Structure 1
Amino acid sequence: MHSSAPRIEFGATRLTIEDILAVAAGHNVQLANDAAFIRRVHAGSQFLEQLLAEHGEIYGVTTGYGDSCTVAIPAHLVAELPRQLYTYHGCGLGAFFDEFTGRAILAVRLLSLAQGYSGVRWILLEQLATLINQNLVPVIPEEGSVGASGDLTPLSYVAAVLAGERDIYRNGQPYPTQKAFAELNISPLTLAPKEGLALMNGTAVMTALACIAYRRAEYLVKLCARLTALTSLATDGNSYHFDAKLFSVKPHPGQNAVAAWIHDDLLAGEAPREGLRLQDRYSIRCAPHVIGVLADVLPMLRQFIENELNSANDNPIIDGEGEHVLHGGHFYGGHIAFAMDSLKNCVANLADLMDRQLALLVDTRYNHGLPSNLSGASGERRAINHGFKAVQIGASAWTAEALKLTMPASVFSRSTECHNQDKVSMGTIAARDALRVLQLTEQVIAAHALAAVQGVELRIAQGELSAAQCAPGVNALMAEVRTFSAHLVEDRALDTDLRAVIAAIQAQNLSVPGAV
């Protein structure tokens, strides 16, 4: 990264999801020049050195790991133990996290260690900051963590890179860390006895993924509200379904915010529209009740994620100032597992909602006078054009896959490591599931966006609606979608259009209502 990039300070204050994502996107980091923070970090590492000199017993320092905690390590081999730990955990498989995710993982691990209760040296925090600021992002495989004792296998790739081993990204491709360090005159770090465990025995991977998932889900709440308004406009729906008086008697704040956004997008200064039906079908009428669940759960999920971010979550905890070694299980990712299992359920419901609305839009039995499959063809050309027929099939496929992935990962605990890790969180799998559900849902939403814009335009072309009757936000979204995809008259392959809209959704470049 460039030296001129904005910097986020670690160590003195509580950080947020947005801070982690800013680092992932390219912000630099710096360690706080805070006396209490600096004193706490130094006290932890010095206390461990003192215990070692006094031949004290410390888990993972003078003992083996996990079920091997009963194995005493000969004094002359203690220094080799951290390298042994990250070496034998080098067994990750599957796809690799991209650079954005890798930077988020580095930031989350730095924040946890900067709490000052992990017994690591100041130089290790500096080396982590160097990886971020020099954009030396470890190539980390996605698979191999059960979420307790933390993200051992994926975080072993961070530990190895700090020591100058394995690979980092260079121009999007794996590149030997040893060569990169030599080119940048960076000295590999020889990990002190507790530092391998401190780096690996925590929840940094699942929590980084949770930060990414949270931001994407938060945006979809707003986008689905706006697209519901477009669906109502296209199908000549009833705006009274979103009336403030109606929602005042069921006071879920997120649900009411969603209803208000849809209501505002439908009115645009005009009188309420009664539509062709007294009651629209559930996928339109009950949209605030579906979207609102996610809107209302987001504050709780933020609390779970940010508490985990700002925690020391390895084992043992080292209280250097109080001179305590505290053995426990803070590596357990139960809160993140629950947050991600919950989030993926709510997000998949958005996919199902958008898929049902799309099904109404293309069907002449339910779209109130729009052409079959929203085809823009006219005359005899209508016979051979099929509009959004295949897109709707695709959306149903993506929705089905998203719904299939809503089975909670956290209930699939497996006993591992000679039954020492006999109850594990599966938080990293839950977070990976959530990101996959988000991807599938974004695909459904992209298909819905193309269809809904087409539907509103067809309604306008039929003289039953005008652009002036559409709110500014609705018109803005329609114009943005049209920069990626022209109005569909003659059938054409829409995969390129869909991918462009998905990219705009993931970049959060489509206009949405106010924040949750």
Structure 2
Amino acid sequence: MKTGPNASAKSCRVIGDDALSVRDVVDIAFCRSTVALSDDAGFTRRIDAGAEYLERLLANGGTVYGVTTGYGDSCTIAVPSDLVAELPLHLTRYHGCGLGEHLPPEAVRAVLVARLVSLAQGASGVRRVLLQRLVDLLNHDLLPCIPAEGSVGASGDLTPLSYLAATLVGERAALYRGELTTAAAAWRDLGIEPLTLAPKEGLAIMNGTAVMTGLACLAVARAEYLTRLCCRITALASLAMRGNPGHFDPRLFAVKPHAGQIEAARWIWEDIGGTSASSDAESMRLQDRYSIRCAPHVIGVARDALSWIRRDVENELNSASDNPIIDGEAGWVLHGGHFYGGHIAFAMDGLKTAVANLADLMDRQLALLVDGRYNHGLPQNLSGTVGTRAPINHGFKGVQIGSSAWTAEALKLTMPASVFSRSTECHNQDKVSLGTIAARDCLRILELTEQVAAALVLATAQAVELRFRDETPVLTANCAAFVEAVRVHSEFLDEDRPLEGDLRCTVELIRSRHWSLDA
């Protein structure tokens, strides 16, 4: 099961035992963990019972939506018994109409995990062999090429998940160990026969929230790191501008006890040295500008939001999200709307706003740092040039303009997707969640905010070095180590140079959560 040169060092996450967390999904998505099905007798019995009950029901002439009927508005059309076996393949094919960029490999893996965990709840009537094939996709790095656009988020992520179903049956394009090929060719190389879908399995694969949920898991992990990073660079910005440390004193936040706000203030407080005393008490402003003074309040909103967002995302992840729901052991089928992605839609719309506010906060901090009127004596534009060449050097002037552009784009995307429901499919899907669009918007806002953060990382490193160029640094060990780590990838800016390469490298370091930010 474990493949690849470093497979022996990977952990293995067992599906079907305990609930998965966002962190579990991220570890699998980035190939830090493999997966395996549980061998627990209760799990095996529950999965087998659902598939066997459905088989008996069909043998006795039972009616089940999407198995003996058409799909969606066509649920009133009976499917002749001799065509029932062909119906799921038609579902996978007519939804093969996605457009836009393809999801990146880590996002596809997150989608696969989300669908596997949902089906492993044992309420979907699928066979164990289907679950095993999903495990095979992950462990053999066989990934469907999934277009990002085309889902309204109810009835689930039908169009993008049709590409997953198609890969399982050996159709369409796929990435196999990083190379573009066909699903059929990849299965041949593995010596595994493509799956022949049982009557409900096409619907079970596609009629769920796996795409939006997988993307949401990645978004939550990226946002959590960004909030911590934002605290670190806020501390550096405050130190560089000789800010008032009392703005982060724990006594201040004890009287307004939002948990995330207290947490953010504590991180900044520890990074600046944990004291309200300052050697520059006479020269510092009594009250710093809001982007410094109110940073814990802005970051704290995101931290507090992440607590309920993570809760709802993990609840969706560990739920059965298709239709109909089948209990093979109790012997019932109920038709409902668990494919509706409202919780993910609302969570991602909320996270969009919280993250975009981080971009705005950091952009305002950068604007203060580069402006000689507000940065408490730092050089204009943080230029490191002194002497006769100073007039032709402009330091971080261009970077601040870029940061403003990235922030503006992030703020523009905060319009909630979930309020733009469209009636589709002959007014059967007349109220939809648009959860996948919300999740994609959130990831784009995260990308833009990471770019703003990269700009501020470089600027604060420059600023503290300029501030303490002619005096003994007063940085804490954590802040000093952080600046030193930044300098490994980006040198001090003396003479003007193009900073695109430095910025791109820093963005990747942020995205990969390269720096440990523990206090």
Q: Supply the distance in 1 between the matched residues of 2:236 and 2:11 (Cα, whole angstroms).
A: 39
Structure 1 equivalent of residue 288 of structure 2 = 280
Q: Supply the distance in 2 between the matched residues of 1:503 and 1:395 (Cα, whole angstroms).
A: 16
Q: Supply the distance in 2 between the matched residues of 1:341 and 1:172 (Cα, whole angstroms).
A: 32
Pick from 197, 204, 211: which aligns with 1:191?
A: 197
Q: Is 1:242 matched up with 2:245? A: no
Q: Supply the distance in 1 between the matched residues of 2:286 and 2:109 (Cα, whole angstroms).
A: 52
Q: Supply the distance in 2 between the matched residues of 1:102 and 1:196 (Cα, whole angstroms).
A: 18
1:368 Cα deviation from its structure 2 partner: 0.7
The C-alpha deviation readout for 1:254-312, integer Å capped at 9, x for no partner, is 10111111111112679446461000000000000000001111111111001001100
Look up the equivalent residue of 1:489 and give its one-letter code.
Answer: D
Question: TM-score, length-normalised on structure 2?
Answer: 0.97
Q: How does 1:8-407 map to 2 (within 5 A)?
A: 8-26=13-31, 27-267=33-273, 271-272=277-278, 274=281, 276-407=284-415
1:6 Cα deviation from its structure 2 partner: 2.2
Q: Is 1:491 matched up with 2:496? A: yes
Look up the equivalent residue of 2:72 and give its one-letter code.
Answer: G
Q: Supply the distance in 1 between the matched residues of 2:359 and 2:275 (Cα, whole angstroms).
A: 30
Q: Secondary structure at the match of 1:264?
A: helix
Q: Supply the distance in 2 between the matched residues of 1:48 and 1:511 (Cα, whole angstroms).
A: 50
1:171 Cα deviation from its structure 2 partner: 5.0
Q: Is the Cα contact below 8 Å between 1:341 and 1:410 reproduced in 2?
A: yes
1:130 Cα deviation from its structure 2 partner: 1.0
Q: Supply the distance in 2 between the matched residues of 1:13 and 1:246 (Cα, whole angstroms).
A: 41
Look up the equivalent residue of 2:23 and give its one-letter code.
Answer: E
1:512 Cα deviation from its structure 2 partner: 1.7
1:22 Cα deviation from its structure 2 partner: 1.5
Q: Secondary structure at the match of 2:143?
A: coil
Q: Supply the distance in 2 between the matched residues of 1:413 and 1:512 (Cα, whole angstroms).
A: 40
Q: Secondary structure at the match of 2:136?
A: helix
Q: Secondary structure at the match of 1:318?
A: strand
Q: Is the Cα contact below 8 Å between 2:153 and 2:434 reproduced in 1?
A: yes
Look up the equivalent residue of 2:19 and give its one-letter code.
Answer: R
The C-alpha deviation readout for 1:297-348, integer Å capped at 9, x for no partner, is 1111111001001100000001111111110000000000011000110000
Look up the equivalent residue of 1:106 and give its one-letter code.
Answer: L
Task: Kindly tell me the number of residue pairs found equivalent between the two proteins.
Answer: 511
What runs of 5+ residues in structure 2 fail to find an aligned partner?
A: none
Q: Supply the distance in 2 between the matched residues of 1:484 and 1:321 (Cα, whole angstroms).
A: 58
Look up the equivalent residue of 1:67 and give its one-letter code.
Answer: D
Q: Supply the distance in 1 between the matched residues of 2:454 and 2:96 (Cα, whole angstroms).
A: 38
Question: TM-score, length-normalised on structure 1?
Answer: 0.97
Q: Is 1:476 matched up with 2:481? A: yes
Look up the equivalent residue of 1:174 and give its one-letter code.
Answer: L
1:481 Cα deviation from its structure 2 partner: 0.9
Look up the equivalent residue of 1:387 and give its one-letter code.
Answer: G
Q: Supply the distance in 2 between the matched residues of 1:368 and 1:455 (Cα, whole angstroms).
A: 11
The C-alpha deviation readout for 1:396-434, integer Å capped at 9, x for no partner, is 000000000000000010000000000000000000000
Q: Secondary structure at the match of 1:7?
A: strand
Q: Supply the distance in 2 between the matched residues of 1:22 and 1:370 (Cα, whole angstroms).
A: 42
The C-alpha deviation readout for 1:432-484, integer Å capped at 9, x for no partner, is 00000000000000001111111110000143xx33x2111111110111111
Q: Supply the distance in 2 between the matched residues of 1:83 and 1:299 (Cα, whole angstroms).
A: 40
Percent identical: 61
Q: Is the Cα contact below 8 Å between 1:207 and 1:305 reproduced in 2?
A: yes
Q: Is the Cα contact below 8 Å between 1:473 and 1:511 reproduced in 2?
A: no
RMSD: 1.2
Look up the equivalent residue of 2:482 and give its one-letter code.
Answer: L
Query: Residues 73 and 189 of structure 1: is their aligned pair in 2 closer, same or farther, counting only changes over 3 Å?
Result: same
